Chains A and B, each alone.
Chain A
Amino acid sequence: MEAQVKADIQQHIVSTWLSGDERGFSEDTDLQESGILDSFSTLALIGFLDKTFSIQLEPADINAQTFRSVATITRLVMEKLGRNGDAR
């Protein structure tokens, strides 16, 4: 499950913001420092996450730490999915 989430996020970022060029990119690549995420692309990424994983990210979930890399975003998504599971 987690591996799939991670792969989905990584693939989305590579195809949307790296013209499909995955060379050098990993789950630990710093998305801000590497110029991939700014305020507009972050909004677009939130939309993708909400829709793809049927979650609802709150403003409190979104900060420089949680959106640092594919690994941190995956962790956030897994956490949201887990909570949703608990609620059910």
Chain B
Amino acid sequence: MRIDRLVTPWAARAPDRIAVDGTDEALTYGQLDTLANRFANALRASGVRPGDRVGVHVPRSARTVAAMLGASRAGAVYVPLDPSSPPPRMRLVASDCGIRHVVITPALLGNWLAAGVREPVEHFFLVGDGAAPAEAAPAAVHPWAEVKDASAAPLEPSGQSPDDLAYMLYTSGSTGVPKGVMISHRNALAFTEWAAETIALSDADRVASVAPFHFDLSVFDLWASLSRGSTVVIVDETTVVSGRRMVDRINAKGITVWYSVPSALVLMLDDGGLAERGAPSLRTVFFAGEVFPMRHLRRAMAALARARFYNLFGPTETNVCLAYALPSVPPAEATAIPIGTASCGDTAVILDPEGKPVPDGEVGELFVDGPTVMLGYWDAGRRTPAKRPYPTGDLVSRRPDGELMYHGRRDHLVKIHGYRVELGEVEAALLGHSGIQEAIAMAVDQQLIAVAVPADPGVSVLDVKRYCATRLPRYMVPSEVRLVEALPRTSSGKIDRVRTRTAVVAADWSLLRPAQRAEVRKEP
């Protein structure tokens, strides 16, 4: 099976069912199927060959889905480009994997051209009828009509295999230089089939699309939904920044399945009235991408008592490889929940630095093998096959009951004055404080520094340090605690560690504005 074939049977069976419900346009299965064929024909006519990379630089909408599906039907590898990313970064990505064709909105094309980015792109395909920039030479600009009026006849599939590349997701690796994670059709479907089976996803479901398309969470939203005849409900970029708007969208559309980073759920609790208003249609909540602070998880589960919660785990390179279905709301004294056991037909082993399996209860690095493990990286213009089993860089341990527990990133293991300090543990301790909303820790010049967002202005640095001292060995208590208004985020909604660290090192407090301080009681 290939992802470009998923929609066709539903277009035949239920052509009038809504496939993608976007903010200003919805497409039925019949319309999505037809528009995808038009994209495929238009791309093919301008020289797209099987295996070519096609960039898709369009905010999330029904047409964006049709563009990705169409590129795939033309035999191409679609590369979702972050709509919020600056053009120079787009150039890095386009040059890295040789993107000659980009599907783009007129406004975003304007940004590319203003920044002087053309090469190596030869063809821009406009989505929508905005004013097209006059001059893009030597690249050709194809107006929307060229897609809209292209043939809707299905392209003849020619010798395509499930092990072909389906799409690439560019991640910014630890060095900050983006590299492409190469995912085959088989890789993607191993995950989406497992997920759809696990929750018995059906044509009665309305699945939220919260994550950006360049973020791997979106793979479920799109391809699991479209494989089961469900409706994908776009929760667009202007909605995901507001808890209230997200709750509105869930309730207005009767969304049944939600998959996001924990912060989106926290935002709905803090700023969307989720606990008071509820979201009775939700039956499944998947979360992934970062640790869900226990306190907030308990709040979310209490607010959505009818929904089953799942902790999904895995780097982009393995998609989801572990999963844990929460049996009930974790007790108040619980400090962490498992990341679960191997899923999607994968196998997980925990190895020590010498490559030997560690005994139960001991921490080692998680290695994963199986059908979801990427084909490899597209990096600096070259394809590098994935190591197998794949070293995730995540530190985990196995409990006696077989569930795996997360202990942070291997690359977050730092040494301070000779002590090994796992930054994830420091962060977990900070998040255990009821007055701390978000926190990250870092080592700078042998100093352990914490940057935290207080939940209320009465929290003082002294409170935080004292709390840490009750939970952590002394050498793991941050020597500096910065209380700030907010932490910078990546476009996928995760805390942006790189930018936070850069700001701390440069002592640039414009990005990290000090949190408000309210007077607190003096010590007795």
Contact = CB atoms under 8 A, between A and B. Distances in A.
Contact of B482 (A19, A25, A26): A19
A23 B417 contact: no
Contacts of A19: 461, 480-483
Interface string A48-85: 00000000000000000000000000000000000000
A38 B475 contact: yes
B479 to A, nearest CB: 7
B77 to A, nearest CB: 48
A84 B463 CA distance: 38
Contacts of B463: 24
Interface residues of B, number: 23
Contacts of A11: none
Interface string B458-484: 001111011011000011010111110
Contacts, number: 61
- Central interface residue in A23, A36, A40, by most chain B CB within 10 Å: A23
B462 A18 contact: yes
A26 to B, nearest CB: 5
Contact of A34 (B466, B475, B479, B519): B466
A2 interface: no
Nearest to A40: B417
Interface of A: 17-19, 21, 23-26, 28-29, 32-36, 38-41
A24 B517 contact: no
Contacts of B479: 17, 40-41
Interface of B: 417, 460-463, 465-466, 468-469, 474-475, 477, 479-483, 517, 519-523
B480 A24 contact: no
Contact of B523 (A17, A21, A24): A24
A38 B477 contact: yes
Nearest to B465: A35
Closest 8 pairs between A and B when the two form their complex, measured CB to CB: A35-B469, A23-B460, A35-B477, A21-B461, A35-B465, A34-B466, A38-B474, A24-B462
Contact of A35 (B460, B474, B482, B483): B474
